[in-house]
Structure 1
Amino acid sequence: MNIEKLEKNLRDLILEEQIKLGYRKELLRLYYPLSSLNHLLEVDCTEEEMLERMKEFSEATRAHFGGITASSQKERFCIQIPPEGVEYVHEHQGEDDFLVKFIQTIAHHGCTLQDVETLFTQYSDQVFEGSYAGDDFDYLFYFRDNKPNDYRYCITFEGRHVIYHRFTPEDYVDYDFGEVIPVKGE
């Protein structure tokens, strides 16, 4: 079991929430499907086996997260991070400059595709941008070289508002959204 990816993902999600809503020292609940936890821990567990792995994960990360707890129902897991774990991330994670600027950009009323493109290209010349023909989202962005991160950003423009979902590469593949057409002859 490789705990580093799940630990990083939890820190990233806590930080994302703190950027959006501000920091509060409180219990935080994050939800994961079994498949995501299997990807992150690099295991192939059943629901019952994953509950055992989560106990191991809690012990291994107690110094950072203060002893997480996990429950499940129909392969959907609720991971509870105690206030001490949320505080630890707030005090030790540092700021994710890209994520801060991304959230600021898309939160701006009237954000355009050009605004998003400009932001991504400020951080890398290895940006993938694709348009999606289905109903799930409008555009896909990610950094080909995984710098500053390896998340897949699925972006939808609804009038003058932008909605996004951020997936790990493995979860993005699992969802099988369909064909994404590269933009600008990529």
Structure 2
Amino acid sequence: MGYDKLEKNLIDIIKEEQAKLGFFKEDIRLYYPLSSLNHFFAANDTADEMQARLSTLPASLTDKLGDIMVSHKGDRFCFHIPPQGTVYVHDNTAENEFIKELVNLVGRHGCTMNEILDLFHTYSENIITEEMDNGEFDRLIRFADNPEDTYYYCFKDEGYHIIYHRFLPEDYTDFDF
């Protein structure tokens, strides 16, 4: 189950990168804290134990994304994905239309929080939104009923544009916003 969660997240991040930057046949490096990886595997591994766990990834993952090299410095892990991975995601997975629209919307000068809420509502009437006052973000928005998108989207209105970051639910809880 943990490798399935890891695979889904790697693919989701590659899709988001391709929505932001376009498709390029290239190596990419994705970074994870140890705590996120432990969430995927419902584990409490040390960094060395996690490195050992990830030293041989299942064929179901490497057949798609290639020979991923995993390394770590302390509790920070790097997944070096070869060009095969970006090509696989581009050629074999459906575009995430929501992410694509969100990236385009927040990339536009003058984007408003109401426009972001409207976008979420075009994908589901059942969203959860909470005001935040932690210095990092102003608002949390997430889908209440979409098993394909369980991310927590946190937004910050910086006056001239809005930025966002999406978190896995467990990581969001760890941050204790």
TM-score, length-normalised on structure 1? 0.91
- Deviations along 1:34-77, one digit per CA (max 9) or x if unpaired, are 00011122322111111111123254411011110111111000
SS of 1:146's equivalent in the other structure is: coil
In structure 2, what is the equivalent of residue 94 of structure 1?
A: 94
Q: Compared with structure 1, are the counterparts of its residues 111 and 127 closer, same or farther at alpha carbon in structure 2 (3 Å cutoff)? A: same
What percentage of residue pairs aligned between the two structures are identical?
45
Q: What amino acid maps onto 2:41 in structure 1?
A: L
Q: CA deviation at 1:2?
A: 2.3
Asked if structure 2 preserves the Cα contact closer than 8 Å seen for 1:58 and 1:67, the reply is no
Structure 1 residue 76 corresponds to structure 2 residue 76: yes
Q: Compared with structure 1, are the counterparts of its residues 152 and 111 closer, same or farther at alpha carbon in structure 2 (3 Å cutoff)? A: same
Q: Compared with structure 1, are the counterparts of its residues 152 and 4 closer, same or farther at alpha carbon in structure 2 (3 Å cutoff)? A: same
In structure 2, what is the equivalent of residue 143 of structure 1?
A: 143
Q: What amino acid maps onto 2:72 in structure 1?
A: S
Structure 1 residue 152 corresponds to structure 2 residue 164: no
Q: What amino acid maps onto 1:35 in structure 2?
A: S
Q: What amino acid maps onto 1:87 in structure 2?
A: V
In structure 2, what is the equivalent of residue 28 of structure 1?
A: 28
Q: What amino acid maps onto 2:49 in structure 1?
A: E
- Deviations along 1:66-93, one digit per CA (max 9) or x if unpaired, are 1101111110001100111111111111
- Residues in 1 aligned to 2:169 and 2:68: alpha-carbon distance in whole angstroms: 25
TM-score, length-normalised on structure 2? 0.95
In structure 2, what is the equivalent of residue 52 of structure 1?
A: 52
Structure 1: state its 5+ residue gaps. Answer: 178-186
- Residues in 2 aligned to 1:58 and 1:27: alpha-carbon distance in whole angstroms: 20
Q: CA deviation at 1:147?
A: 4.7
Asked if structure 2 preserves the Cα contact closer than 8 Å seen for 1:138 and 1:154, the reply is yes
How many matched pairs? 177
- Residues in 2 aligned to 1:62 and 1:135: alpha-carbon distance in whole angstroms: 40
Q: Compared with structure 1, are the counterparts of its residues 157 and 136 closer, same or farther at alpha carbon in structure 2 (3 Å cutoff)? A: same
Instruction: Tell me the C-alpha RMSD between the 2 structures.
Output: 1.3
SS of 1:155's equivalent in the other structure is: strand
Deviation beyond 3 Å, 4+ runs, structure 1: none
